[in-house]
Amino acid sequence: MNPFQSLRNYEEFIYTLKERHSSIKNSTLIMVQRSKRTAIVQGEIAFEKAFRVTIKERLSCDNNQVVIESYGYEFWRSDEKIAWYDSQPHPNDPKLACTFPHHKHIPPNIKHNRIPESQIHFDQPNLPFLVHEMEVLLKT
């Protein structure tokens, strides 16, 4: 199954994510369809050691292809935000041009310290990558 062939396929993909990743303790991800061709995915994926990822994606689907129009993915340890990815463009930051607009905010000065991110996309699911990122953090 290609999860990006339809909103229905992507919905099934997010609701079965925990079955494919044993590291996930709990998921509150939901898809809310806004129209025949648009939807919002939001919620949280929880892991051990009080780690979690909050997810927000705005999706559209045309010609049997789902596209992520915008996203925000926040990594948390308890009440501390430790990193985040977003699709907010920063055209005046030349170091981000190679993956524009995809980037990651990291410490120190997490709001302004951004690095390029080549593993986040608009045209494929990002959730497996985010789960993998969290699994790496769990090992540290």
Task: List average pLDDT for each run of 10 residues in the chain, which is 140 residues long.
Answer: 88 95 97 95 97 98 94 97 94 92 95 95 96 93
Residues of the domain holding 24:
7-138
**pLDDT at 99 (0 to 100):** 95
Residue 1 is assigned to a structural domain of this protein: no
**pLDDT at 1 (0 to 100):** 56
**pLDDT at 140 (0 to 100):** 82
* Model confidence, pTM: 0.94
Residue 2 is assigned to a structural domain of this protein: no
DSSP class of 111: T
Query: Is residue 86 packed enough to be buried (19+ CB in 10 Å), middle (13-18) or exposed (0-12)?
Result: buried
Q: Return the closest-CA partner of residue 29 out of 46, 18, 15.
A: 15
Q: What are phi and psi of 12, to 5 degrees?
A: -60, -40
Residue 38 is assigned to a structural domain of this protein: yes
Q: How many structural domains does the chain have?
A: 1
Residue 95 is assigned to a structural domain of this protein: yes
